[in-house]
Amino acid sequence: MRRVGSLLAGVAASLAGVAAAAAVLHAREVRSPVPPDTDRLLYLRSGKTADRVFLSFDALAADVYWIRTIQHYGRDRHSTRPDRFTLLQPLLDLTTTLDPAFNIAYRFGAIFLSMESPNGPGRSDQAIALLEKGLKANPNRWQYAHDIGFIHYWYTGDLPSAARWFERAAAMPGAPEWIRPLAGVTLAQGGDRQGARTLLRELMTSNEKYIREAAERGLAQVQALDDLDALAMLLERLHQATGRYPADWIELAHNGVPGMPPRDPTGVEYAYDPATHTVALGAGSTLAPLPRGMSR
Amino acid sequence: MIRRIRLVAWHVFKESVRDRVLYAIGAFALLLVGASIAIGQLSAGEDVKIIKDLGLSTIELAGVLMTIFIGVGLVAREIDRRSIFGLLSKPLPRWEFVLGKYAGLILTIVVNVAAMTAALYLMLAYLDWQALPVERRAWDAPAADPRLLVSVLLITAELALLTALSLFFSTFSSSALLSIVFTVGIFVTGLFSAELRGFGDIVEVSPTVAKFVGGIGWLVPAFSAFSDVKAQVVHGRAVPAAFVFYTLAYAAIYIAALLAGAVTIFSRREFK
């Protein structure tokens, strides 16, 4: 009995110690956090040097750099530091130099780089350069040509370039049938939401989860653009009928408008400014910023 | 009581300094610290920073290797050689034996860390001596900057925690290999503890998974917490005293918990 008692006391003391240590660590993180590391340094910036340094472990090193890329992107997305995402492009360049066939690093890396603030650095130029590097190393990957077209379509708004890249992707071996009409649609109806929906729905069939998630977000953004237009029209109609704009969503609900307060596809309430009578995405919506210049 | 613990500790220290593994790791560390001068030459103006980075990392890496390879054998070797029977038949309580072993290895680690730190400072002093004034002005901090000692202190605390962990595993496992696997496994997990605690911010997962993984991040020994300031001291930036205090307090409490566990297990263990 006494032996069991001493065992329990020992175990309890150990567990209490671990819990107390965790509490001290938590106190350190709250009261005296790690001083911000202002110089973020990558020892190896040149992919060619890294290629030599890692001897026969290039593929493994590429995996490590890819994991670092994900961590860097994930952390900086939630950070407020001014130099967010500064290491993103060098990390992706290192990863793809060490393993030139690292498919997801090109495709998902391009999405990381293209996304506008606060979700990314908004560097479509770097994203396109990364995908062009991928095409040079893997000339038969129609996906990279298609992704460059998509970046022009969605982020830069350069529709002739988008159409040219879709055409190039369609001409590559193994490219699916649906890409060729995209080039024509892009040129004919360039920048319209219906064309964007067609493109995004095709991307939803991608084998890569991250591409599907990016497409899903794009579809939600297009839906939000439609919602914002519909809400603006509703406000105008009410103004014409009553001679005044509502003070808030509740007033609209009292006027018999269903579905108030309106929410975007992620469930965040749309923001209404009664001073300017404009509607926008609510604070904290992950759909911000919405693509520019996309007509109905 | 103190005298008996001191005797066991002194015995461990004498045994450890005769260990060939220690010399191999020590020679490797001194070579690497020395080689950092050559590596620094290739770094186009950042030589002092790179020598400091490499020096501190080498002290940490060599210390970790010493701790793991010598620490896990502390008790296992006594059992292997059957010398444990002779020791336990003496009027030496088991908890004093465990604490003596721990203190002996800490002494070994501290002496080695001090030797490697002295080698690093010698090299930095040489670099300072042969540098031109114009080169010195370009440095973020003086070459032989005493602020580096803050990082050395935290590395020593990290090694003390790792020693307690390896001793804990060696008290219930007769196999040195198994103890090494356990210790290295927890050490590597501890190096990722900050990532585990912020798992939900890095990867998009369900809140339950994020909380579960975050909980593991709080419970495993946070070895990464000791290396957080290396970049600061290398650039000569001040490290808040509260930060150092909390980190040392964390190490002390966790070490006490591990030693309590080690004593509990070892006191109940039967040797055949």
The domain of B218 spans 2-268
- Model confidence at A128, pLDDT cuts 50, 70, 90, reads very high
Mean pLDDT along residues A164-179: 86
Q: What is the mean pLDDT of chain A?
A: 81
Of B33 and B253, which is predicted with more confidence?
Answer: B253
pLDDT of res. B39: 65
Of these ranges, A144-148, A273-277, B14-18, B81-85, the one predicted with the greatest mean pLDDT is A144-148
Q: Do residues B61 and B39 lie in contact, with contact meaning Cβ atoms separated by under 8 Å?
A: no
What letter does residue A32 receive in the DSSP assignment?
A: S
Cα separation, B9 vs B7, whole angstroms? 5
pLDDT of res. A82: 74
Of A22, A35, A78, the CB nearest to B219: A22
pLDDT of res. B135: 72
Distance of CA B21 to the CA centre of its chain: 16
Q: Do residues A142 and A179 lie in contact, with contact meaning Cβ atoms separated by under 8 Å?
A: yes
Mean pLDDT along residues B1-13: 80
CA–CA min distance A215, chain B (Å)? 16
pLDDT of res. B37: 66
Which residues does chain A have within 8 Å of residue B246's beta carbon, measured at their own beta carbons? 24-25, 27-28, 31-32
Residues of A with CB under 8 A from a CB of B: 3, 6-7, 9-11, 13-18, 20-22, 24-28, 31-35, 37, 39, 41, 70-71, 74-75, 78
Whether the CB of B250 is below 8 Å from some CB of chain A: the reply is yes
The full length of chain A comes to: 296
User: Is there a cis peptide before residue A181, judged by omega within 30 degrees of 0?
Assistant: no
- Alpha helices in A32-123, H assignment, sequence order: 47-53, 58-77, 88-98, 103-114
Cα separation, B100 vs B54, whole angstroms? 33
| Interface A-B: count of C-beta contacts within 8 A | 91
- Model confidence at A203, pLDDT cuts 50, 70, 90, reads confident
Distance of CA A110 to the CA centre of its chain: 10
- Model confidence at A55, pLDDT cuts 50, 70, 90, reads low
Mapped onto helix, strand or coil, the DSSP state of residue A20 is helix
Which residues does chain B have within 8 Å of residue A7's beta carbon, measured at their own beta carbons? 264, 268
Cα separation, B163 vs B171, whole angstroms? 12
Direct distance between the N- and C-terminal alpha carbons of chain A, in angstroms, rounded to an integer: 79
Mean pLDDT along residues A14-20: 89
Chain position carrying tokens 């995402």: A85
* Nearest residue in chain A measured CA to CA from B265: A7
ipTM entry: 0.74
Of B195, B231, B263, the CB nearest to A10: B263
Of these ranges, A141-145, A156-160, B46-50, the one predicted with the greatest mean pLDDT is A141-145
Of B230 and A56, which is predicted with more confidence?
Answer: B230
Q: Which residues contact B25 (CB under 8 A, 6 or more apart)?
A: B62, B65, B66, B69
CA–CA min distance B234, chain A (Å)? 11
Say whether A21 and B253 touch across the interface (CB within 8 A).
yes
Closest by CA to B105, choosing from B177, B53, B34, B183, is B183
Q: Which of B154, B196, B232, B255 to probe by mutation at the A interface, max A CB count within 10 Å?
A: B232
Rg (CA), chain A: 25
Cα separation, A26 vs A132, whole angstroms? 45
pLDDT of res. B244: 92
- Model confidence at B33, pLDDT cuts 50, 70, 90, reads low
**pLDDT at A153 > cutoff 80:** yes
Give the dihedral sign, CA A222/A226/A228/A229: positive
Which residues does chain A have within 8 Å of residue B263's beta carbon, measured at their own beta carbons? 10
Token couple for A17 = 């110690």
* Nearest residue in chain A measured CA to CA from B196: A71
**pLDDT at B257 > cutoff 90:** yes
Cα separation, A89 vs B61, whole angstroms? 30
- Model confidence at B160, pLDDT cuts 50, 70, 90, reads very high
pLDDT of res. A70: 83
Say whether A13 and B267 touch across the interface (CB within 8 A).
no
Cα separation, B104 vs B98, whole angstroms? 10
Whether the CB of B188 is below 8 Å from some CB of chain A: the reply is no
| In chain B, residues 227-246 whose CB comes closer than 8 Å to chain A | 228-229, 231-232, 235, 237, 239-240, 242-243, 246
Say whether A35 and B267 touch across the interface (CB within 8 A).
no
Distance of CA A83 to the CA centre of its chain: 18
Token couple for A104 = 């997801």
CA–CA min distance B129, chain A (Å)? 26
Cα separation, A153 vs B25, whole angstroms? 58
Distances (CA, A) of B8 to B2, B83, B95, B231, B260: 10, 13, 12, 38, 18
- How many domains does chain B fold into? 1
pLDDT tens per residue, range B166-210: 989 888 776 778 888 889 999 999 988 888 888 777 666 778 888
**pLDDT at A160 > cutoff 90:** no
Mean pLDDT along residues A282-296: 72
| In chain B, residues 190-229 whose CB comes closer than 8 Å to chain A | 195, 198, 201-203, 218-219, 221-222, 225, 228-229
Token couple for B96 = 């004093």
State the angle between helix axes of B148-172 and B47-71 in degrees (0 to 180), rounded to the nearest 10.
20
pLDDT tens per residue, range B113-156: 998 898 888 888 888 887 777 777 767 778 888 889 999 999 99
Q: Which of B254, B265, B269 to probe by mutation at the A interface, max A CB count within 10 Å?
A: B254
Q: Which amino acid is at A161?
A: S
Which residues does chain B have within 8 Å of residue A32's beta carbon, measured at their own beta carbons? 240, 242-243, 246
Say whether A78 and B225 touch across the interface (CB within 8 A).
no
pLDDT of res. A145: 94
Mapped onto helix, strand or coil, the DSSP state of residue A176 is coil
